Structure 1
Amino acid sequence: MRIARLAGRTVLLTEDGALDIPADFEGRLFDRWDALLDWSRGATGGRPYDESELEAPVPAPRQVFAVALNYRPHTAEAGYEEPEVPLVFTKFPTCLTGPCTTVELPPGHVDWELELVAVIGREARRVPVEKGWEPVAALTVGQDLSERLAQLAGRPAQFSLAKSHPGFGPVGPALVSLDEIPGRDDLELTCALNGDTVQHDRTGNMIFPIPRLVAYLSEFCTLLPGDLIFTGTPAGVGNRRTPQRFLTPGDELVSRIGGVGEMRHRFRKATTA
């Protein structure tokens, strides 16, 4: 099942197009996730749609978690030792945008970070690692866009604000239910900038896989339906390249995760009030 948002409505993406979900599921997506799965298996049809019309599949999550330094090559390129526990920060929900939008670039150095995003489907607290997949309803593609000057200006560095400009949390194109992703522990990630591959790895190389992240976060916070967990980015970010490379107006960024989906974003200079 692939659930998306189109023109303010929740839709099932089928081979034929976008099919509106039944009205009694709208607004109760995660409360009735299993029933929605059952309905989707017999659903057919759908209207044509343009991918550029898709919106963020979870438009207003209550909590958005993100994880730093969760791939060993990225940890090494950033000049750090492998963390002993997940390094967690937040992205504020107002930064979310859809899978095919144009993002405004504020002053500074805006960088890309392709990430697999886990979507929580039910309330969860103190989840054991061996049951860490159970609260996860779906996976989606994400970008943790980051303005590096503000992010790294403090001592110590402060992540959340510099990663929460409008449009700095692209997600989509759909919520992909776990039954559609048999290899969910080892998915291929590819990020391309203007046609050149800048990031390539597999989620199987995470230092802290999704079950470990769910267990760790739920020790501190109650995880809520619709919460997003950005699980970390592989090596190849712009501020660690030689020479450094950051996003500029007119760039196209393609973010792809095997079995989950693809996003395309363009960039323009932010307008002033």
Structure 2
Amino acid sequence: MKLLRWGEAGAERPGMIDAAGGLRDLGGVVPDIAGDTLSDAGLARLRALDPATLPEVPADTRLGPCVGGVGKIICIGLNYADHAAEAGMPVPPEPVVFLKATSAISGPHDPVRIPRDAAKTDWEVELAIIIGTRARYVEEDCALAHVAGYAIANDVSERAFQNERAGQWTKGKSHDSFCPLGPWLVTRDAVPDPQSLPLWLRVNGTVMQNGSTATMVYGVAHLVSYLSRFMTLHPGDVISTGTPPGVGMGMKPPRFLVPGDVMELGIEGLGQQRQPVIAEPG
């Protein structure tokens, strides 16, 4: 099942994809793709619907981020061994954890804005885990039961803010528009193996990243279990699981985003995103 949110930014409505790929409105069924809707019982209720009975949504409607009510975005750094190598850093002995501000969340096709005084804005295609039920001290063998589904995230990063200024990574990761999320939340029953998903990213039509979640250092179940030992995971929380090699920072010479660039990215079975790059207004 593919769930989404559509409409103007800040006023999105819940929706789903029908068998023909059309958009259907869930506004009369649930208030949002958030909270209890993400539980097994909530998803079962949606799965029992006949999408053909739901109102159609115009195909050209803006898609918003695929989940609402996000309490936190937890990111995992250096989670692909080959990406750690291109960054010149060792594979971490346990997951590298940092947070990204929820105000960075945007729709999958919304423009990405380069911050004022930025110099090294970069791309990162990532598999996002969407939590469905509260997880606290969960064992790895039952961790996936707490997952509602999966989506694409672009962990856009301003490397100069991230790496060349004092403090932690968060300020290089959290500018408005730095977390395009969607287009859909694909429920976990439709993703039998989250560790076998090809993922890719292009800039201006040129392939920059071409990898697979099979090469993650720490897989989905491990990450959910691991994080649940340090913080309670709530419905709607997003875990962005790291990126394969091919980021601009790792190129020789480095290549960073400029206004006018276009990013396109995708993960097999989870759809595609497309973002034009613009300068921060004002």
**Counterpart check, 1:93 vs 2:105:** no
Once structures 1 and 2 are overlaid, which stretch shifts more, 8-17 or 33-42?
33-42
CA distance in 2 between partners of 1:225 and 1:42 (Å): 22
Structure 2 gap ranges (5+): none
The total of aligned residue pairs comes to 271
Runs of 5+ in structure 1 lacking a partner?
Answer: none
Report whether the alignment pairs 1:54 with 2:63.
Answer: yes
Deviates further, 105-114 or 47-56: 47-56
Q: Deviations over 1:191-231 (max 9, x none)?
A: 11111110011101100001111111100100000000000
Evaluate the alpha carbon distance shift between residue 129 and residue 264 of structure 1 in structure 2; reply closer, same or farther with a 3 A threshold.
same
CA distance in 1, matches of 2:28, 2:124: 36
1:148 aligns with 2:152: no
CA–CA separation in structure 1 for the residues paired with 2:278 and 2:243: 23
User: Aligned pair in 2 of structure 1 residues 95, 51: CA closer, same or farther (>3 Å)?
Assistant: farther
Instruction: Give the structure 1 partner of residue 36 of structure 2.
Output: 31
Deviation of 1:270 (Å): 1.3
Deviations 1:46-96 (A, max 9, x none): 525346600011233111100000000001111111111000000000000
Q: Does 1:20 align with 2:25?
A: yes
**Which residue identity is paired with 2:133?**
R
Whether 2:92 is the aligned partner of 1:76: answer no
Counterparts in 2 of 1:52 and 1:126: CA distance versus 1, 3 Å: same
The change in CA–CA distance for 1:180 and 1:153 in structure 2 (over 3 A counts) is same
SS at 1:134's partner residue?
A: helix
Moved more, 201-210 or 43-52: 43-52
Superposition CA RMSD, Å = 1.7
Match status 1:10 vs 2:14: yes
Following superposition, the deviation at residue 31 of structure 1 comes to 1.5
Please state if 1:40 is matched with 2:47.
yes
Structure-2-length-normalised TM-score: 0.91
Task: Map 1:107-118 onto structure 2 (within 5 A).
Answer: 107-118=118-129
Which string of whole-angstrom CA distances, capped at 9 and with x for unpartnered residues, describes residues 15-74 of structure 1? 252212263521474424434334334423352534660001123311110000000000
